[in-house]
Chain A
Amino acid sequence: MLLSLIVWLPAIFGVIAYLSGERRSKHVTLLGAVLDLVLALYLSVSFNWSEAYRMQFTEVYPWIRMFGVSYKLSVDGLSMTLVLLTTILFVSSALGSMRIIKERNALYNLLLMVLQTGILGVFVSMDLFIFFLFWEVELIPMYFLIAIWGSENRRYAAIKFFIFTHIGSLLMFFTFIFIHLKYFWTTGIRTFDYSTLTAAEGYMPLTLAKILCSLLIIGYLIKVPSVPLHTWLPDAHVEAPSPISVILAGLLLKTGGYGILRMGYGLFPKAAASISTWIAGLGALSLFYASLVAISQINLKRLVAYSSIAHMGVFLVGIGSHTVIGWVGAMFMMFSHGLINGMLFNMCGFYKYRFHSYDIPILKGFTKAMPISSAFLVFGGMASLGLPGLSGFPAEFFSFMGAFKAFGYVAIPLIAGLLLNAAYNLWMIQRMIFGEQRYEDEAEDLVVTEIVALLIPSAFIILLGVYPAPLAELYRVVALNMIG
């Protein structure tokens, strides 16, 4: 029952928030998000870490017997940490929304909480059909959150987001149905159960499995996103309200990454292994391309958006290495990038609220007026460039270890990608923080809710940077089991 409670609690609170009116809805939402975080912490404490590869807290109820659909929720180590990440970021996002969202609060909070239910559902469902349902459930609130509360060009960005990601989910659904039918034709059993269908690859020739697996992974690569399927992301991020960008970068991209691992490699272990090199190549391409583009940005939010693509490129390199250590790095990257970019996007929102712009030339020069905010920005930038001692470092380190192990000398140029990564972050900090001070008293520093919104992810960033061992060990157990 614990997983169902965690998944559905936000939606229930969303409805309560909607009914409690414009003014109180924010507080109800925050309460719901915090309660969910507490539940997720309880889940991670009672989770058996040493057997993280095993599915735990399983609940199964048959739903539509006719099609073999059952409501099955379960978590292994990977899912459990992503549930934790989701609840952390939603608390952060709810806090960040407090001042930024000024109109139609009730509806906003309803959609936000439904979105949380959708994302949590993706991470814990172990029935392909339910997985697909939750996957669709996240799209619709996201569309409206961008289209209603976004900035000037929001409609274009929202529809672009919807079309891109919907194509991805159709590719996914098509493969799911195919696997389902293939299993049905071979064994006579109609089922969408994940752990049963992992056998389906054995029932088809490797070429077919490769085609299906590629379609599936392309669907997820749209969401990750990887160059050249990334073009929806900068638009969506810049137009979305910042607390939503937190979710978009921190979690929606992770559902794509999670999909590659859970479904791509889980359902087609052999086929996916054979196309791993391609995934790593796309990852490297993303890393270089997005870092170069990020350097040339003058829009702070666009810069952070491209840094997301670059970091997910590192994630793909880790996955594509198809080694245990690479996977540890990749999973670590999902968790760490969610925290870091979630934090940075929240800050973009705080600046926009004060200066009505995301452009670095307009923002810069507030260090004296806003010391707390400046400290957080420096911290976020350092975390993003992978400073040792913060959570970004082990993520990148393990990913590249995997790449060196798998590809040898070919992987050495990737180091240059890290340099680019450092370059745009440092230059951003330099332009924003140092130099001529243009604001005195008129710029108000962060208020308590905003500081808490940033402190929560920061605490985890430091914790995981200083002491990555437990999480890395957890991921090692999971990866070892999946790669075998």
Chain B
Amino acid sequence: MLEYVVFVVLVLGLADLAVDLLKNADRLASLFSSTSSLLLILSVFLPDRQLFAYSLNSFFKLASLAVGISLLIIVLSGELMKTERPGLYNGLLILTALGAVLASAADDFISMLVAWQLSTLSSYVLVSLKKDIFGAEAGMKYLVIGLASFGALIFGIGLIAGSTGSLNYVSISRTITGNPVTLLGVVFLISALGYKMAAFPFFVWMPDTYQGALPVVGGVLSAITKTMAFMVAFKIFLVALLPIKVLWVPIIAIISALTMIYGNIAALVQENARRMLAYSSIAHAGYILMALAALSSSAIVGGLSHIFVHAVMKVVAFATVMQVLMITGSDYFKDFAGLRRRAPLTLFSMAVSFMTMIGIPLTAGFWTKYVIFLGAVGGGMWWLTAIAVICSVISIWYYIKPLRWGFVEGGELMTEGAPSRAAQVGMLLGTAVIFLLGFVPSPLLALAREAMLSIIP
């Protein structure tokens, strides 16, 4: 069954590109993309399958669930329906998502690269959609740095494949040894994946891209592309490169610490919602990398489940920012004043997504952070946990700031307009997921545990 789901989604994506030729087909286009997202979500309930070199197992399902929910919320937020060519853009969105889940399912480097390129090439076009100078800057930065990172990825894979004589993750892990060549390969891999994850110091493109491109891009990049980067990284490091962990654990640990520190501190001074979310996304990359560095089973479960939660909370946050932009025309915090009368539901969803980013109890983000921190302590990473806890405390400040403008400050909006009903459904869906997992985190953690066991038996 599962392999057919993948095919159907692929066909829907291509069909959406064909819909581009029709006029006034925006409803059809978003019907295709919402169907794809539902298929990706429902694939969690189907039995495991093997499709070429892609293992469609629990690891794939975790990615597919995260990407599916993100895709659904993005489609519901309706941003892409307003563009001139909805067919093309919805098609690209589906392909971005499909590539992302397939890349996480890949068992060897070549299959991973194919899916990776499917996803990133589609996202390059999505980022370049906006036809003004900021959009052009965003698209250019993302494209150039993305291509450089792809070069680094290929080079890293080449070095590792060359020194082990294999492209398959499992066979690499049998023969790999720590030597200067593999170390160089690991460094290149980390930098390539780090670009997509926006880890320190590879994140520089991110705030400008988020702010300059269409608001939907922030959602796509931080929910779908980052999910892909993290899942691929977890699979490569935990399967192929596990025997040489002494080489990469210190690097990942240091990058994780710097990412957390830089992301959280830089976010403090932001006055623009999308830039703040970009830095918060960087900060969360640090928490997830911490799980990889700690390498205890509990930390990995926490890391994998935090990838899921990160996708959901970021996409909800971006969906709310999209609505705010639509209503006020600005996403600077000071323009949030007065929103509470016009868009109370939007503000509420924003508050929920920010609360879960802080890790306030009874939201999903609390549990996943808790498991990561506990696992990191168990893995002996005391110092990293301490940094993470301090960073979490600091983060309260920049998440509260926009909420204070929205909820507390008075003020009247000069503009017309209110959020659309579909967008509200999407945001409420996301907040429901966040709250449900906040009260009953066990299903998510169980899925993450299965995902871990499916790659490291």
Contact = CB atoms under 8 A, between A and B. Distances in A.
A63 to B, nearest CB: 8
B400 interface: yes
A166 B393 contact: yes
A133 B362 contact: yes
Contacts of B408: 144, 147-148, 155
A166 B440 CA distance: 24
Nearest to A154: B408
A133 B361 CA distance: 6
Nearest to B392: A170
A167 B389 CA distance: 11
Contacts of A174: 389
A132 interface: yes
Interface in A104-150: 132-133, 136-137, 140, 144, 147-148
B138 interface: no
A137 B361 CA distance: 8
B445 interface: yes
A410 interface: no
Contacts of A136: 360-361
Interface in B350-404: 360-362, 370, 374, 377, 389, 393, 396, 400, 404
A166 B445 CA distance: 27
Given A133-B361, A166-B396, A148 B407 contact: yes
A66 B400 contact: no
Nearest to A148: B408
A177 interface: yes
Nearest to A130: B361
A248 B322 CA distance: 38
Nearest to A136: B361
Contacts of A148: 407-408
A155 B410 CA distance: 13
Nearest to A129: B361
A343 B441 CA distance: 43
B322 to A, nearest CB: 25
Given A66-B445, A133-B361, A136-B360, A177 B374 contact: yes
A132 B361 contact: yes
Contacts of A132: 361
B171 interface: no
A273 interface: no
A64 interface: yes
Contacts of B175: none
Interface string B434-449: 0000001110010000
Name A's interface SS: helix
Nearest to B409: A155
Given A132-B361, A136-B360, A136-B361, A159 B400 contact: yes
Nearest to A144: B407
A181 B377 CA distance: 10
B98 to A, nearest CB: 33
B374 A64 contact: no
Interface in A53-75: 64-67
Contacts of A159: 400, 404
A155 B440 CA distance: 34
Interface string A180-201: 0100000000000000000000
Contacts of A170: 389, 393
Interface in B388-430: 389, 393, 396, 400, 404, 407-408
B404 A147 contact: yes
Contacts of B407: 144, 147-148
Interface string B152-187: 000000000000000000000000000000000000
A66 B445 CA distance: 9
Contacts of B370: 67
Contact of A155 (B362, B404, B442): B404
Contacts of A177: 374
Interface string B114-149: 000000000000000000000000000000000000
Nearest to A180: B374
Contacts of A67: 370
B400 A65 contact: no
Contacts of A166: 393, 396
Contacts of B445: 66
Contacts of A64: 440-442
Given A137-B361, A166-B393, 8 more contacts: A64-B441, A64-B442, A65-B442, A136-B360, A140-B360, A147-B404, A159-B404, A162-B396
Interface of B: 360-362, 370, 374, 377, 389, 393, 396, 400, 404, 407-408, 440-442, 445
6 closest residue pairs by CB, A with B: A147-B408, A133-B361, A136-B361, A148-B408, A66-B442, A64-B442
26 contacts: A64-B441, A65-B442, A66-B441, A66-B442, A66-B445, A132-B361, A133-B361, A133-B362, A136-B360, A137-B361, A137-B362, A144-B408, A147-B408, A148-B408, A155-B404, A155-B408, A159-B404, A162-B396, A162-B400, A163-B396, A166-B396, A167-B393, A170-B389, A174-B389, A177-B374, A181-B374
